Amino acid sequence: MKHKRPFHKHGKKPHAAARPPRREDNRAPSFTKAPGDKPTRDGILLWGLHAARAAWLNPKRRILKLWITEAGFASFEKTLTEAKQKGLTRPEPKRIERHELDQLTPPGSVHQGIVLDATPLPEPLLHEVVAGDTPPDLVIALDQVTDPHNVGAIARSAAAFGAGAVIMTERNAPGLTGVLAKSASGAIEHVPLVHVVNLARAIEDLQKAGYWCVGLAEEGQKDLSEIDLSGRTALFLGAEGEGLRQLTRKKCDELARLPTGGSIGSLNVSNAAAVALYEVRRQKKS
């Protein structure tokens, strides 16, 4: 393995750590009516059963408010009880009508009768993820992928296949919104999203930490399955249509293609990420 050099500490500064949990009693959660209640300025809205459940049970998350319908409560009741059993400090749910929840979330949002107001998670720096005592053997990096639905779906696949982080640029990347969190289906509570100022510099840092950086591109000389991915691996995927930027292609150790065929010769970036993550995990297990 190459000698590790000091990392450039680029990326966003992490938010303040969440307060330590305080044990509460085990009384069943009650409803309080809160007409006209507004989201706080410090939090972000998360909605949908899976995203809300993962956030509610994450001790690193500080939950500020929970709005819930009668139907939403029926599907979320076990989660409320589980959080109390774990001693997590959580606010009492506030009953609200569905049309009021519709006004809190973007048009067409499938909130399933559950909306949380929560503080952002602390975000680690790149060197904190890949240069620790037990760095992940797989990370994935996105080169200006801007669609929050795609980023959320990629985060979900990253969690499913055991990737240690999703790396994105600070610019030309979506913020951690409720749309992204809903698409991730709870994955953002388990896989950190790491923002970097300069992706080319991040590649250099990953290489110094012993990662083989592989970019997915149609002009790759080899199929992904033909590349040795058994060691530490960083996968790089580009934006829809444009793909990886030229400097990213140049900095990667190798470019690889996915062996697609048939009437459609390419995959959506989130689908391509899932296929690539599967191939890396398959090789690491063999």
Same domain, 193 and 259: yes
Percent of the chain surpassing pLDDT 90? 69
Pairing verdict, β 114-118 and 44-47: antiparallel
Q: What is the pLDDT of residue 221?
A: 86
Under 8 Å between Cβ of 82 and 120 = no
Q: What is the pLDDT of residue 25?
A: 38
Same domain, 188 and 272: yes
Q: What is the pLDDT of residue 34?
A: 44
Percent of the chain surpassing pLDDT 70? 84
Same domain, 107 and 144: no
Bridge partners for 23 per DSSP: none
**Closest C-alpha to 132, from 92, 165, 179:** 165
> Into how many domains does the chain fold?
2
Q: Which domain holds residue 228?
A: 126-285
Kindly report whether the global pTM for this prediction surpasses the value 0.75: yes
Q: What is the pLDDT of residue 181?
A: 94
Q: Return the amino acid letter for 76.
A: F
Please indicate, yes or no, if residue 26 is contained in any of the structural domains: no
Listed in order, strand segments (DSSP E) in the chain are 32-33, 44-47, 63-68, 94-95, 114-118, 138-143, 166-169, 193-196, 212-216, 222-223, 233-238, 254-257
Please indicate, yes or no, if residue 84 is contained in any of the structural domains: yes
Please indicate, yes or no, if residue 27 is contained in any of the structural domains: no
Same domain, 58 and 84: yes
> Any idea what the Cα angle at residue 200 is, between residues 278 and 256, rounded to 5°?
35
Same domain, 109 and 133: no
Q: What is the pLDDT of residue 19?
A: 37
Q: How far apart are CA 73 and CA 104, in angstroms?
A: 17
Mean pLDDT by 10 residues, the chain (286 residues): 45 42 38 54 88 96 95 96 97 93 90 95 92 91 95 97 95 88 94 95 96 93 93 94 92 91 74 95 88
Q: What is the pLDDT of residue 172?
A: 87
Listed in order, strand segments (DSSP E) in 131-232 are 138-143, 166-169, 193-196, 212-216, 222-223
132: domain CATH number is: 3.40.1280.10
Please indicate, yes or no, if residue 25 is contained in any of the structural domains: no
83: domain CATH number is: 3.30.1330
* Signed CA dihedral, 224, 227, 228, 231: sign only: negative
